[in-house]
Structure 1
Amino acid sequence: MNNLFVRFYVGVVAALALALILLVVAAAGRRETVAEREDQDARLAEHYVALTQGNHWLMQEALLDRPPAEWDAIVERWRPHFRYPIELRSAREVLAGELPPFVRERVAAGEAAAWSRVTHATSERLSLYLPLAGTDRVLVQELELGPPVDVLLELIGVDVMVLLAILGLTILALTRPLARHVTRLAEAARAFGSGQLNARVPTTAPEPIGRLARTFNAMAERIQRASDAQQATLQAISHELRTPIVRLHFALEVAGSALAEVPAARDHLEAMARDVGEIEALVEELLIYARLQPGAPPLELAPLDLAEVVRDVVRDLGPLAPALPPVIEGPASAPCMAHERHLARAVSNLLRNAQRHARAQIRVRFDLTDAFATVSVDDDGPGIPEDQRARVFLPFERLDASRNRATGGYGLGLAIVHRVMQAHGGSARAESSELGGARLILTWPRGAEAA
């Protein structure tokens, strides 16, 4: 909001200043003919002559009432009472100076004349010529018209400040609703991008923001329907696969009992049983992944001790890699809010990932802050390239040969971890580890009830 207001305000003020400069430049550069300029100056001179007519009459009467020999002394006595130069000159001296034609003609004819010319941006010099009737003397006055700069700033400064204030309030009133609607749209887009597919934005904004909001909602609706259809299909397929898998297990057990005395057949049946077991595990992970889809019913979080969850997972999975006993680091007790079964699944997926890729060391660390709970699992394996760390949390994503199918897994373990953290309002990310391999980190809000 502040950036939008400042940009509009500065833009409008700059536009006004530029317009004023262009007007001044245009006025200064406007080409006029000599005749047009002289005509304008003559009309302006007539205005000043008429404006000072009474003053000229008084001065002329005061001088003509005295002998010409005393005129210079009289003007000298007047001079301290005038804030501008005033003097008597001969008509010949005046006419010998640089004068415009219309002034020269009037002075030569014994008529009062005026000559105005601009000297500064805020002032002009006005020369008044009063020929004294029946003599060759001319009373000349030189006036500077226009306020001083300091007075002008004082006069205009308040008006300019009021103008800028009114302009600012007007722009604020116009941009505030626009910024509010844009912020709502940005928040909805951010929520939608983070997995909240039911995020929508109000469409009551003025055009074209309203049209943009309606377009966003239509797009979000189509994507949500496509995602729901995909998840429903995935769940249906996974459920339908369970029945034939159970039948295969039963058939293999029956066949194993019947062919127990045939070693070659028994080996083939055991290999088939392992394949069926892998398919069953994959179906189970698909079901879990589908249940944790964005927009699913929120998890029921409850207070639990994170230390107990981590230690239970390490104890259960330790026998799978006896040569890689994990080192546990964390407080004796770590109360937080979470869904225990899904959190345990996320931690176990991280630990199983580390067991597949570690060479000699695994470290499991958990901690609490005032607002967040954190679990990290480090290994000394090949690590994850920085440009691929976000990809490891995508379903069925494979990296290079050091983390391929030969190491086990189906490409859903870390994707499930990512969705578990999304369901907890947290995040999962990958970093480099001090042990030389990968560090996978879970972070989610600790919860006020557990603090």
Structure 2
Amino acid sequence: MLFALSAYTVSKSRITEHIYQHYSGTFKLIGEGVARHSGQEREQWLSAIERLSGLSFEAQYFADKQLPDKQLRKLLKDKFLFVVDKELVTSKAYILLPDEQSYLSVQVDDYGTSLVRISAFLMLNELGRHRSEARLEALNRLKELYSYPIELVAMSDLAISASNLRTIKKGDVAVVLNISGATTSNMMAYAPIGNSRFVLKLGMIPLFDWLPLSHLIAAIAFTLVAMATAVFYLVKPIERRLAEVDDKIVAIAQDKEMITTDNAPSDAITKLSNTVDSMALRIQRLLAAQTDMVRAISHELRAPITRVRFQLVMLQEAKQPNQHAQGIEKNLDELEKLIDEVLTFLKLKSHQPELTFEAIDATQLIKQLIKTHAPAHSNIHIDMAINSHQPMLADQHYIFRAAGNLLLNALKYAKARIEIGYQKDADSFILWVADDGPGIPEEQRIDIFTPFKRLDASRARQSGGYGLGLSIVQQIAHWHQGTISVVDSNYGGTLFSIRWPITEVSNAHC
């Protein structure tokens, strides 16, 4: 916008300067010609000028207020005023009349050959009014009015084309254009002086160049500088913000505390920065979880190893070694079970297997669960609650594992009763296990799916387990695009339910 405004102002100023420099003498001669004539003679003289130049003069009065006061004052001072219109397409010249109460206005559409022709005719008219020595004085005065050379040359000395020479011999003005791409284009005008052998030579007269080479170079330089400046001020903040992202990545690599960025603009770099923040937070959580897992595994391993060591000492001193040997075997079984649980959990966390969705009879699945896990808990009564006879769509192996973990968890804490149920609503399959155990406080429910997390260490130690069963259930539910929730059961204990969408598994099944 600023560049366009500057270009407009410069072009307007250059047109005005070009006219004043090369053609102000022309309009002054018209003013003097008007002043020398009056009445009918003035009209005839102006008509002749209009025919020769193709221009149309119009008389206007100061009282009409056609011009602003500032322009009127300039017209009174210089006897001539030139104004370029807003579109830079045409211009108007104003010539003060002798009474200084009126002026002539003329529209100028051509800043080249037309003005040169009328200039030549006016010069011939001025020279024709004088004789011998007075004509030379008039020629010298013309030279003062114009910025370009004016001289008398013998027709025989002209180095012009034959067609231009014929034009001169006919009594017309010949205008010769010299168009050059490397330098400023110009014109030469040749006007015959009556029947004499002399010709009035005008020029070289510069043609108005809308975009001269110097201005073009300046415009390109200005554009390049403006673009470089804009790029600098655009890239600098981006570079600074990318450096901040780089610092975050370095902080992650060096395990240093990372500073998050607030109130950043919403763009691609902010999105990248937020992604790095999320990645760093996830890495920190994974590292923390890994540390907790190693600590928990170490703790879990320490207890059976300590018991094995103790029983080995007792075995050396015992009179009945078989009893202590059985204890050692039991603790080794516990270690093997722990290792198996850890490996299973790590396998489930490391990658998502390719699930095989199939129609499963819920009744048969629950009966198989009870048959597998109930015999070891004969004091617990297990009910079945099948609210829908439509089969569930799931991966049989993993859904059996998830439901089995929920049942085992309920068997650990139930007092006398457990309910296993299934239903299908409009958009979901739901499988649940409820017990009449002590329940889980609401504020602690968020922690029960954390690996190796025990809400009550003494109760957990008594009931067994390693805190991995519910984490595995949560992972399997996630693979089925579902969720696991925990609420109070109707029996006073806890109800765990797995819910997964029909649409997701149906699409996967297809």
- TM-score greater than 0.5 by the shorter chain: no
TM-score range, shorter chain: 0.3 to 0.5
Higher relative contact order (CA closer than 8 Å, sequence separation 6+): 1
TM-score for both structures, normalised by structure 2: 0.40
Question: TM-score if structure 1 supplies the norm length?
Answer: 0.45
